[in-house]
Structure 1
Amino acid sequence: MEVTQPTLFVDKDKVLKNIEKMAEKARESKVLFRPHFKAHHSADIGEWFKQNGVEAIAVSSMDMAEYFAENAWKDITLAFSVNIKQIKRINKLAEKIDLGLLIESQEAVDFLEKNLTSPVNIWIKIDTDYHRTGIHWDNEAVLSKLLRNIRDIEKLRFVGLLTHSGHSYYAKNICEIEEVYADTVIKLRDIKERLFLQGFPSIKLSIGDTPTCSVISDFSEVDEIRPGNFVFYDVLQLELGVCDESEIAVALACPVVAIHEDRNEIVLYGGAIHLSKDSIYREDKTYSYGLVALPEGKGWSKSLKETFVKSISQEHGIIKTTPEIIKKIKIGDIMYILPIHSCLTANAMKKYFTLDGKELNYNVKC
């Protein structure tokens, strides 16, 4: 396949290994593996999950939920606080599949009671100190009242408490990631036990973030895990220490359009609209927008030493490299960028190919 413009490639073998590894961890812990599909948005990649026995998924938008329902997924949790403005679409989808919704307010409960036409599964969104959203885990009074009201509504089938420990992404090492997981579980189990004493005997616990799910082996203290980014991994996960570079399964192929040997810089056709503007702050007080590799076989090589994307604008990507490497590069060559945040790169590109050149089905609405 000839690359003439920024093109996102997926290494299927790496993806399958990543899926198999996470699925096996869930099986060993006897928990439900409900992967979050916001990372890939692809029905074709969804089929790869089914090969590992996955039957339940999480998504982050109604567009995604509808897309995967159209592609034969029957158990979908919309893992984003319910948007009551989409009630018509919620009702239509709930007629067809086992739909899960997130609740964190009495207002949402009241609205659903009046407007739902089909039963849905209800998770209460819990804040375990990430502080993005959700009811704080220690707010027993609010949680208890909300649960009692949900229990009285026939179409709201309460399932459990759901959280996302996004602060794991700010950890500095593996030990801190393990501490985030342990702290999250302690808080969830604490409020679960307190609610049990108030007459709520059946409460499941759902956690989901790639750093903790990649590092932890035993999930037996929860009921389901919802990692998403692990399917591709990326440079951020590499920096956190939760994956090897060999597990990064996507790379953006970009043509070289200019070379500036005087400052050891290479200009690519591939910028912010392709990669996103997520970056990592380096030890030398510069920013990196991606690691750089060369074509190798059907895919890409290990990342080049002392070489990274130092800046990006709309279509431009500027690589900082060494005199030795720059002498080997010519105008028109293809270089591969390992993205900082693969989820955003995939969403920006809205199209990708296997290493054999097969285009994968992608939900362009997302």
Structure 2
Amino acid sequence: MHHSLSTGTPLRVQDMHKRFGQFAALDGVSLDVKGGELVCLLGPSGCGKTTLLRCIAGLERQDGGVIHIGSRDVSRLPPQARDYGILFQSYALFPNLTVEQNVAYGLTGASREEARRRVGEMLELVGLAGSEKKYPGQLSGGQQQRVAMARALAPSPSLLLLDEPMSALDARVREHLCGELRQLQKRLGITTLMVTHNQDEAMLMADRIAVMNHGKVEQYGTAQEIYSAPATPFVAEFVGQGNWLPFERGADGHARVGGLSLRLHGERAAIAHGRIFCRPEAIGVNPTVHEENLFRAQVREITFLGNRCRMSFELNELPGHALLAELAPERMPHLASPDIWVSLPPHSLQVFA
């Protein structure tokens, strides 16, 4: 049952607005999801991601804006006419119905025989064949979430909507289930929109991520684009770790940070003043070759994080301003003294006005 990506149904949201009293939950959100794509809505609580999902599902009525699922304008249709499957964090299985009855719940109009066959197919798909007669209470959290997944997929919807589906599970189960869900989604080629506040989950699963804040989409791109080239300071801070340095423009493509002069890359040097942003892993520590933007620094603290070490340091010219670098544990013996050299490579410095 292999579909290529092109078979999925696209989803298009244009200029969505939603207010709750004085609060603008959605402030002109537009989003294009290609057929078969998995897109994550990522952001802090209150950013509008769940409201957007609920408007697409027809569980909230937007104040303005248009929603297309495929070529159909569903903006004003009741939820049951919109053709999607939905999965909430609370699983919302009926405890008094068997697994089989739970999964068959959305299969209206199917004969008993058809329903039984479809339920069997779905349970096999999510790795729970043979659990038909069990009750949700006899299953683990991860298994219950798989049953909920089977129920959402049983009617063959054009669109799958996931609202923080993993947040109630512990980290190990969650990571495993994320991987499974992603493989399943790819195999079915079903267009999927998933709400999460967990950046690791978004990066692990999504084809593209829409980072939301205050009812707006601040950036929409692949995990790599959002991490390597954040469009706004909010995105830079929300996804991953980072260092910030306030600067004023100096002479000939350099920025002045306190007593330091940093060379910036190309057009970034044209900004008069603002903040420089740099990822911890981009910082060179005691580089073996002479690099640009090389400065003396003092190690303040080193934290061992298993596959990497995080080092807090201060530049000699900027005392009191702690910065973070990340490096491989085998590089640690080279830091015998607290006096080190660090390089801030120009190409890895981003500038926000």
Give the TM-score, by structure 2 length.
0.31
Larger radius of gyration: 2
Q: Where is the helix percentage greater, Structure 1 or Structure 2? A: 1
